[in-house]
Amino acid sequence: MKVVGIGTQSDLASAREFRADTAVRSFPLLWTASPAAWAPFGVSSQPYTILLRDGEVVKRWPGGASPEEIRAEVDRTA
């Protein structure tokens, strides 16, 4: 399983600040100037968490998800 964060709000400096403030270091945090990266997944706002398996959506969490929620879903669908 791979985890990737995609940020498009504010600017690159804000994405870097978010990463530093939240200690997100266990997965890549990507930033793009356009929310077009969200379009294939039907995401219209952040935070939003999507669990994919083999390119297919397994679970969606509008508003984000805790590590525990994500782990429980990974374990449930393994």
Q: What single-letter DSSP state applies at residue 55?
A: T
**pTM score:** 0.66
**Fold of the CATH domain 5-77:** Glutaredoxin (3.40.30)
pLDDT of residue 77: 83
pLDDT of residue 26: 67
**Domain locations in the chain as residue ranges:** 5-77
- Segment holding 53, helix H or strand E: strand 48-53
For residue 54, the SS3 value is coil
What is the band of 2 on the pLDDT scale with cuts at 50, 70, 90? low
User: pLDDT by residue (tens digit) across 6-59?
Assistant: 777 677 787 777 667 766 666 677 777 777 888 888 888 878 888 888 888 888
DSSP track, the chain:
----EEE-SS-HHHHHHHHHHHT--SS-EEE-SSGGGTGGGT--SSSEEEEEETTEEEEEEET---HHHHHHHHHHH-
